[in-house]
Amino acid sequence: MGAHFDSVARSPGADDNASGVAATLEVARLITQRAERPAATMQFVGFNLEEIQDTLLHFKVGSKFYVDRLRDEGRRVAGALVFEMVGFTGRKQTVPAAVQLVKKVPQQGTFLAAVGDGDSGVLLQAMASAAEGIVELVSLAVPLKGWLVPDTRRSDNARFWDAGYPALMVTDTADLRNPHYHQASDTPDTLNYEFMARATEVVARCAWEVAR
């Protein structure tokens, strides 16, 4: 599991994506505090250069390098959980038209979203179970590795999908909710830390269930 640790120029990146990095570190702490050890190896990864780097639209660079190495080494991957902004809640929520056709989404931005592709059903089911009683979760399975809903491919999860690995993007839905996205106003005081804690707990439970 992991999160990108870069931000765009002139933005402090509190939600995008310091929130994801903090959540990754906290999941690692929660997992290692358990007396029992998981059957599978768990890796906690920080990805660099996720944001667009140049006019040629090079982005998700670090995760591509990481996924390419996994594939070259013939690693078996049960799943990847990618944090992409998990700290903001608000009254307004935008929903892409393609999603509205297939999924009922709350009008207030107080839920956590988990997005997987056609190979990520086990992860989506584990997330749904983990979220019960903790946070409202909206799960979405997108066909064709997300190409029909381009918003679902904007983070490092897409690199795993393209390599055939199950993966979820765990997110507060970024600029579909957060008006501070890629702005100088993306600062720590805009975040909902209780929501972050709940999202982190859910992912820790999900990760443990998949790896045990």
Cβ neighbours of residue 200 closer than 8 Å, sequence gap 6 or more: 23, 26, 27, 30, 86
State mean pLDDT over 35-45: 91
Provide the domain count of the chain.
Answer: 1
For all residues of the chain together, what is the average pLDDT? 92
DSSP string, 17-58: IIIHHHHHHHHHHHHHTSSS--SS----EEE---S--STT--
Residue 206 is part of which domain span? 2-211
Q: Which of 19-23, 45-49, 130-134, 162-166 has the lowest mean pLDDT?
A: 45-49
CATH (domain of 182): 3.40.630.10
Structure tokens at 12: 């402090």
DSSP string, 6-26: ---TT---IIIIIIHHHHHHH
Q: What is the pLDDT of residue 98?
A: 79
Phi-psi region of 145 (alpha: psi -120 to 50; beta: other; left: phi over 0): left
Looking at the DSSP bridge assignments, the partners of residue 186 are: none
**176 SS3 class:** helix
Give the global pTM: 0.92
